[in-house]
Amino acid sequence: MRFPTTGPRRLRSSEAMRRLVRQTRLTVDNLVYPLFTCPGENVKEPITSMAGCFHFSPDRIAEEAAETASLGIGAVLLFGLPVSKDASGSDAYREDSTVCQAIRKIKEAVPDLLVITDVCLCAYTDHGHCGLIKEGKIDNDPTLDLLAKMALVHTQAGADMVAPSDMMDGRVGRIRSVLDDVGYTDTAIMSYAAKYASAYYGPFREAAHSAPQGGDRKSYQMDPGNSDEAMTEMRLDLEEGADILMVKPALAYLDIIQRARQAFDVPIAAYNVSGEYMMIQAAAKQGLVDLEAIMMETLLSIKRAGADILITYFAKEAAKVLAR
């Protein structure tokens, strides 16, 4: 008798065998590519803190959206920069905001590409916080109307889905009811439901010029030590009408993704954020890791943890690998 009788290595003996038994596979269908739009004309400006990413003016963003779609990617997540900032972030909810212009351009050029928009005030407020500030504190409830207005103008411009990232209490419900009142019952909501107060957002805040001018986001974004609270946040957002629940960041929070997958029966999205992206880029640039291999392994790990939707700056590169 040979010892041992069972041998897991048998099913790893060839690529054909490994393919046969592989449980998790990435597909291009899972990918969402974030895009940044800025005021101006004929702008395509590299974002210094985020390798391979650009700021596009609305007149140039359709070409990037078309390239994204040509790689088989089905959705983009749109972020905007304001023309000017003020205390209430009023540039965020103008009908002709930069984001609204960009949505129209993308929808004109590539109508089938899903346009998801980030809904939050931090890039638009002069204090850099995601909500209104009153006497040095976040003013939750009056912020909800502004977020709902922002979601509405994006929807009117043609967005298919809105993604509130502000972490105010009650925003999903307010956005849902405002959209429904105006007849936009088909606009989906992907809520940044379990969004942590994370140091991994650093490169993005440089890109979006959205770093808080004073203090931090710990009174609204979640404490990294908490896991049960993420379940509460997600349950509340579901009850308020969220269609998709997001966990953010992804890699340091794979346990949260796994719990979300087990606890809820709606699609789970994970945001592989700017700091996670740039750590890999930086390590690859130093020759420490193989960029392509580590990119695919990382994205696979997020999917294996339970995410259905992967929001990643690697989307275009990953789509190229998957097409081979």
Taking the complex as a whole, how short is the minimal distance between the CB of residue 131 and Zn ion, in angstroms? 8
- By CB under 6 A, residue 274 contacts ligand PBG: yes
Q: Output the smallest distance, CB 138 to Zn ion, in A.
A: 11
CB–CB of 234/260 below 8 Å?
yes
Can you tell me the distance from the alpha carbon of 9 to that of 18, in angstroms, rounded to the nearest whole number?
A: 10
Cα–Cα separations (whole angstroms), residue 227 to 62, 141, 212, 255, 304? 39, 25, 25, 8, 19
**Residues 214-243: x/- map of binding to ligand PBG (CB under 6 A)?**
---x--------------------------
> Residue 253 interacts with ligand PBG (CB under 6 A)?
no
CA neighbor of 302 nearest in space, from 24, 18, 29: 24
Q: Which does 315 bind (CB under 5 to 8 A by kind): ligand PBG, Zn ion, none?
A: none
What is the nearest approach in angstroms of ligand PBG to the Cβ of residue 77? Answer: 9
- Told to check if 36 binds ligand PBG by CB under 6 A, we report no
- Select the span of 84-92, 101-109, 151-159, 199-207 touching ligand PBG (CB under 6 A): 199-207
Copy the structure tokens of residue 276.
């996670």
Three-class SS of residue 128?
coil
Choosing from 94, 205, 304, 316, the residue that interacts with ligand PBG (CB under 6 A) is 205
CB–CB of 227/210 below 8 Å?
no
Which of Zn ion, ligand PBG, none sits in contact with 113, Cβ below 5 to 8 A by type?
A: none
- Ranked by CB distance to ligand PBG, the top (closest) residue is 204
75 CB contacts (<8 Å, ≥6 apart)?
31, 32, 33, 113, 114, 115, 116, 161
Amino acid at 237: D
Integer CA distances (angstroms), 27 to 7, 219, 268, 316, in order: 30, 37, 15, 12
Considering the rule CB under 6 A, would residue 165 count as an interface residue with ligand PBG? yes
Q: How far is the CB of 51 from ligand PBG (least distance, A)?
A: 13
Q: Which of residues 109-138 bind ligand PBG (CB under 6 A)?
A: 118, 120, 122, 130
Buried b (16+ CB within 10 A) or exposed e, 73-86: bebbbbbbbbeebe
Give the residues lining the site for Zn ion (CB under 5 A): 120, 122, 130
Query: 103, 216, 115: which is closest to 167 by C-alpha?
Result: 216
Catalytic residues: 195, 248
Residue 23's identity, in one-letter code, is Q
Candidates 18-26, 150-158, 200-208, 279-287 — which segment interacts with ligand PBG by CB under 6 A?
200-208
Task: Tell the smallest beta-carbon distance from residue 120 to Zn ion (Å).
Answer: 3
Residue ranges that bind ligand PBG, judged by CB under 6 A: 118, 120, 122, 130, 165, 201, 204-205, 210, 217, 273-274
